[in-house]
Amino acid sequence: MSTSTPRRIRKNFTLADAGREFWKHPSPWMISATLAVAIVARIIVGDWQITDAIVPVVMLALFPFFEWIIHVLILHWRPRKVAGLTIDPLLARKHREHHTDPRDVPLIFIPWQALLWVLPATLAIALLAFPRLGLGLTYLVFIAMLGIVYEWSHYLIHSDYKPKSRVYKAIWRDHRLHHYKNEHYWFTVTTSGTADRVLGTFPHSEDVQTSPTAKNLHAAR
């Protein structure tokens, strides 16, 4: 459990300030390194085909649903016992800590320990799940790009940077509703009203009661 003291809100916190803090943490570097290697490998392999344009479009359309599924089924996993053993993955434990203190910066990021298996697993999918190497590397490039966008968006929402653009205001509002209003809704991070709307977790905030467990996931009501 995090023991950090509450941080004071920093006024006039700029994007440059956010960028400097963002790159102090391991996961952006790990994902960026994967992206750089994937880009170089994709260029070397060549073999460009029309499917290399189709795969990113499909991934972009599916990514909000991917975020939703990961958030609901893994990050909000409720610890349970199986054959006497407690099943409580690292990602779920860290996410509960993140809900307890949404302003604790290290807890905003994907745990680097999880990336030690997530990144190799993603590489294995790229190499084994596609009919040709070039297409698999296109997937790897784009999933790494989406990973960086996710980390940056999630960090920025929890930082002291104030929303300016309409798109950022929307995702900022939704994710803060998830943390401070009710943890059972608004599960996407990089988009607003996409997968949540389709899957029934995008209510009007005025119609939702404030949850007593938003900062203490799975606690008894």
Is the pTM value of this prediction over 0.85? Answer: yes
Identify whether the C-beta of residue 140 lies closer than 8 Å to the C-beta of residue 130. Answer: no
The partner residues of 87 in beta bridges, in order of sequence, read 80
pLDDT tier for residue 3 given thresholds of 50, 70 and 90: very low
- Cβ-proximal residues to 130 (8 Å cutoff; 6+ apart), any chain: 136, 139
Residue with tokens 């440059």: 16
Identify whether the C-beta of residue 150 lies closer than 8 Å to the C-beta of residue 66. Answer: no
Half-sphere exposure of 167 (CA within 13 A, CB side): 6
Question: What is the tens place of the pLDDT at every residue in 49-72?
Answer: 999 999 999 999 999 999 999 999
